[in-house]
Amino acid sequence: MILMYFFIYNNTFNYFRTSKQKSIIVNQSNFIKGIFIMNLNSKSSIKFYSGEEIPVELHKVRIVQKLHLRPIDERLAAIREGGFNTFSLSTKDVFLDMLTDSGTNAMSDNQLASMHHADDAYAGSQSFYRMESAIKEVFGKSLVLPVHQGRAAENIVAKAFVKPGDVVPMNYHFTTTKAHIDLNGGEIAEIFTDQALIVKSNNPFKGNLDIEKLKALIAKYGKERIPFIRLEASTNLIGGQPFSIANMREVRKVADQHGIIIVLDASLIGENAWFIKQREAEFANSSIKEILQTMCGLCDIVYFSSRKVSSTRGGGICTNNKELFLKMRDLVPLYEGFLTYGGMSVREVEAMAVGLIETTDETVISQSPGFIDYTVKELDKLGIPVIMPGGALGVHIDAMQFLPHIPQTEYPAGALAAAFYIVSGCRGMERGTVSSVRDENGNDILSDMELLRLAFPRRVFTLSQTKFVIDRMHWLYKNRDLIGGLKFVDEPKVLRFFVGRLDAVSDWPEKLVAKYKADFGDSL
């Protein structure tokens, strides 16, 4: 049996205040008054005398969960049964689940403890008010609408503001974002910079929105057809790349000139804030909390998936604008639940409140980017085409360079995801043309990038597991000519990447297995 560690960040309840600690009240009721202590000035960078750059886990293991690494023949059978779609794999057949960081981040001891004093009331739950207080503390927004997850927030925002013929500019779309805007009669406009799609780059903010393109778009369509400008904190589909506050300020200036609101997808805002602290000189000495409030202060509406930002389930929408709040408010009871639970369990609401406060802790939010950065650099040393610099959420392998012999119409990113599962038991996610859609003529709209994303949820994987991922990817790269393409055999019309089924265009999976056995023998 192979063990996977669920890392539990050890925060100590303490009533003493030192010069390096700040007390934050996160929970207060008739039953509990907790003082949450965190070292807000802690540094995540640790130097080794050997000169090696190795990420160090600033937490300890408290709970473990057994994992299973199945023999390669069983892995081949599993991916074939799942229609060569990693979403369809059962976790009993998965060694390291790198599909996503959504709802898979490790929770802290304080989060787990908070769930025991949840208020189960249908309406007026005290759990909601604790979450509301945390959102105001972290994001600086006082009007809060709870929803069951991030795409639910997208649905509310789209229904409230998008009408037929509208155009929504953004630094890059997310799959569900585009679907919600499309379903409400609008369309998206990608306003990313020319640097955004360069695989290997030194640009620290490839998630920036192109200001000149934004001005041109407004001039073309007019402000009346632009309900809002959307910014995504750490662009999911192009490698988890962050944007800068300098860029946000420029977007804000343009928006104010034309009376257009800004909507921020803050699902990965913690990591984006950490990148700003590391890469934007103005904020080198700022706290994560200060950076978060600066980012949110430049936006009119902030929505988020707490499955990402606070390591729990659920989501939310927040604003300081009463008029905007009222446009969205009545949709929440209709689609989600009452205004003080929004489709979430109150235990999740409690854990979210604590998790949002923990997002301001540098040792929490730096762990995933640290492991991503390490893995990216190691893969690059091996000549493997990987998105650089490392971003948030996961490691992104460029499938078009990895598999140049596979045309996009045969889904190279999907093929790479399937192949990597076969040789490693690790489940990644396709982020390419499979995640795209077809045009009115039934032809694939080819994705800008073909990426295999290997997610690194916060505080979940060990360094040895990370080295295993690197090793198996290295072997696969050396044998990449064996990998072939895929074709759809069952294709949903909306968000096909979730449940669609594919098949190999040849017997390449069997050839890959044969080569693996020749090189590794009976090894898992």
Domains of the chain: 2-65 (no CATH), 72-101+367-520 (3.90.1150.10), 120-360 (3.40.640.10)
Q: What is the mean pLDDT of the chain?
A: 89
User: Which among 31, 91, 120, 122 is annotated as catalytic?
Assistant: 122
**Do residues 297 and 332 touch, judged by C-beta distance below 8 A?**
no
Tell whether the model's pLDDT for residue 5 goes beyond 60.
no
- Which tokens hold the place of 38? 């965190």
Residues 341, 328: Cα–Cα separation, whole Å: 15
304 strand-pairing partners:
316
Give catalytic status of residue 141 as yes or no: no
Residue with tokens 């929970």: 27
- Which tokens hold the place of 247? 């860029």
pLDDT at position 53, please? 83
Give catalytic status of residue 471 as yes or no: no
Residues 142, 316: Cα–Cα separation, whole Å: 12
pLDDT at position 39, please? 38
Residue 307 confidence class, pLDDT cut points 50, 70, 90: confident
pLDDT at position 34, please? 37
Nearest to 159 by CA among 303, 352, 310: 303
Tell whether the model's pLDDT for residue 191 goes beyond 80.
yes
Residues 236, 396: Cα–Cα separation, whole Å: 10
User: Which among 5, 130, 151, 175 is annotated as catalytic?
Assistant: 175
Residues 206, 447: Cα–Cα separation, whole Å: 17
455 strand-pairing partners:
394
Say what percent of the chain tops pLDDT 90. Answer: 78
Name 488's Cβ contacts closer than 8 Å, sequence gap at least 6.
Answer: 496, 500, 501, 502
pLDDT at position 438, please? 93
Lowest model confidence (mean pLDDT) among 125-129, 309-313, 412-416: 309-313
Burial of residue 238 (CB within 10 Å: 0-12, 13-18, 19+) is: buried
DSSP string, 26-50: EEESSS-EEEEEE-TT-------TT
Give catalytic status of residue 174 as yes or no: yes
HSE, CB side, 13 Å, CA atoms: give it for residue 494: 8
User: Which among 431, 453, 458, 459 is annotated as catalytic?
Assistant: 431
User: Which among 139, 174, 421, 468 is annotated as catalytic?
Assistant: 174
Cis bond before residue 389 (omega within 30° of 0) = yes
Give catalytic status of residue 497 as yes or no: yes
Give catalytic status of residue 431 as yes or no: yes
Could you tell me the CA-to-CA distances from 468 to 234, 457, 471 in Å, in that order? 26, 16, 5
pLDDT at position 44, please? 52
User: Which among 308, 313, 347, 472 is annotated as catalytic?
Assistant: 308
**With b meaning 16 or more CB within 10 Å and e meaning fewer, what string describes 330-344?**
ebbeeebbbbbbbbb
Length reported for the chain: 524
Name 136's Cβ contacts closer than 8 Å, sequence gap at least 6.
Answer: 142, 144
- Which tokens hold the place of 32? 């509990």
pLDDT at position 64, please? 84
Residues 369, 391: Cα–Cα separation, whole Å: 7
| Mean pLDDT to the nearest integer, 169-182 | 91
Give catalytic status of residue 175 as yes or no: yes
Tell whether the model's pLDDT for residue 41 goes beyond 60.
no
* Residue 504, SS3 per DSSP: strand
User: Which among 97, 265, 373, 398 is annotated as catalytic?
Assistant: 265
pLDDT at position 100, please? 83
Could you tell me the CA-to-CA distances from 476 to 303, 412, 470, 519, 520 in Å, in that order? 39, 14, 10, 11, 12
Question: pLDDT tens, 380-418?
Answer: 999 999 999 999 999 999 999 999 999 999 999 999 999
pLDDT at position 45, please? 65
For the chain, helix, strand, coil in percent to 5 are 45, 20, 40
Tell whether the model's pLDDT for residue 163 goes beyond 60.
yes
The gap from C-alpha 233 to its chain's centroid, in whole angstroms, comes to 9
pLDDT at position 4, please? 40
Residue 451 confidence class, pLDDT cut points 50, 70, 90: very high
| Mean pLDDT to the nearest integer, 445-463 | 93
Tell whether the model's pLDDT for residue 503 goes beyond 90.
yes
pLDDT at position 173, please? 86
The gap from C-alpha 406 to its chain's centroid, in whole angstroms, comes to 27
Give catalytic status of residue 230 as yes or no: no
Question: pLDDT tens, 254-305?
Answer: 999 999 999 999 999 999 999 999 999 999 999 999 999 999 999 999 999 9
